[in-house]
Amino acid sequence: MPGQSKIAAIAPQASEIAILGAGAVGQLICHQLHSAGLAVGLMARESFASHIEATHWQDLVFSPLSRHNTNTESVTYRVPKLDIESKSAQQIKLLIVCVKAYQVLDAISPLLDKLSPQCHILLLHNGMGPHLALAPRLDGRGLSLGTTSQGVLRQSSWQVKQTGQGLTQFGHFTGPELPQTLRERLLHAIPNSEWVEAIIPSLWQKLAVNAAINPLTALHQCPNGTLAQAQFSTTIANILDELVEVAAYDGIELNRHFLEERVYRVIELTAANFSSMHQDVAHHRLTEIEQINGYISNRARAHGLSAPINAQMCQAIKQLSATKPRSN
């Protein structure tokens, strides 16, 4: 293939880090960990139906971010495809879950009684909620959470292209902490990443960006930049007002002014992009609305409050999706 170099490297040692969910983000993180020399393997959906006992390999193609739309050279590399039924699964020390928010529980549930009791779990998705459902089921394992503003596009099953750089944040949520050595390796491997003392406020801040941008771009079928127009400012302000109030009841103090500035900065920086929800609706896929505006409205209800604009966004996206047959 033109513009592509083969640098296949086989790491013979057992994988100490496994990535569950071999989609866009899963393959991006896999590439970054593999490039840093870490023993990483993939758990793709098809592994569960597989009767192959031993570890086998997967070739992946990664295209780095291209500046000025120039042709960048893609790299092909090879990582183990992990089978949860194999003995090597017991050696996994860190499981990074890179599925969509609504897929987390279904993806991880079959693994919980098979992973080692020491295996640490890290959830990396947009939206919030799965951590609350997963926490009581950890059986003494540690749980960390993360959020990334890197951008990546899946071009085919085993080929992804990085489309944006951005901050990635991780932090401890509950149970035993991620061992220091693994934490350092993770931060070293993922560009522009940091460990934060309090991850939940960071997740709320990312939630604010997604809650303001994603449903409006899907409903109005527009790129992110269109939301800078004055006609959207009241709705965006209302979404943020409700979010800040609900977060405060959850014990998280957010700076309303800072949040709004952040939302408009993302609108400007990603002006030409179509949000993930816009794309999910356009491609007739399930959206993460339930874990974004739906989470705000559910947490409001849990505190005896209401978050009518977020509830309305949630309802409108579900209605819009219902008019289109789903492909997943």
Ligand X SMILES: CC(C)(CO)C(=O)C(=O)O
Ligand Y SMILES: NC(=O)C1=CN([C@@H]2O[C@H](COP(=O)(O)OP(=O)(O)OC[C@H]3O[C@@H](n4cnc5c(N)ncnc54)[C@H](OP(=O)(O)O)[C@@H]3O)[C@@H](O)[C@H]2O)C=CC1
- Residues 6+ away with beta carbon under 8 Å from 66: 72
> Of ligand Y, ligand X, none, which one sits near residue 23, judging by CB under 5 to 8 A according to partner kind?
ligand Y
Q: Which one of 209, 211, 218, 239 is in contact with ligand X (CB under 6 A)? A: 209
DSSP secondary structure code for residue 165 in this structure:
-
Considering the complex, state which of residue 151 and residue 294 has its C-beta at the smaller distance from ligand Y: 151
Give per-residue burial for 175-188: e unless 16+ CB within 10 Å, then b.
Answer: beebeeebbebbee
Binding to ligand Y, residues 266-325 (CB under 6 A): 276, 288
Considering the complex, state which of residue 96 and residue 227 has its C-beta at the smaller distance from ligand X: 227
> Strand, coil or helix: what is 189?
helix
Q: Which one of 276, 291, 293, 310 is in contact with ligand X (CB under 6 A)? A: 276
H or E element, residue 81? strand 74-81
Distance CA 142, CA 119 (A): 8
Q: Are 216 and 236 in contact (CB under 8 A)?
A: yes
Instruction: Give the residue from 75, 58, 249, 237 showing the smallest Cα distance to 157.
Output: 58
206 is a catalytic site residue:
yes
Q: Which one of 34, 125, 141, 278 is in contact with ligand Y (CB under 6 A)? A: 125
The residue count for the chain? 328
Q: How far is the CB of 104 from ligand X (least distance, A)?
A: 16
Q: Which residue has the tokens 């289109």?
A: 324
Considering the complex, state which of residue 152 and residue 211 has its C-beta at the smaller distance from ligand Y: 152
> Of ligand Y, ligand X, none, which one sits near residue 273, judging by CB under 5 to 8 A according to partner kind?
ligand X
Q: Residues touching ligand X: how many (CB under 6 A)?
A: 11
- Per CB under 6 A, 203 contacts ligand X: no
Instruction: Give the residue from 19, 150, 13 showing the smallest Cα distance to 88.
Output: 13
Binding to ligand X, residues 103-132 (CB under 6 A): 126
- Catalytic entry in 87, 161, 206, 324: 206
Q: Are 277 and 214 in contact (CB under 8 A)?
A: yes
- Per CB under 6 A, 213 contacts ligand X: yes
Site for ligand Y, rule CB under 6 A:
20-26, 45, 98-101, 103, 106-107, 125-126, 148, 151-152, 154, 276, 288
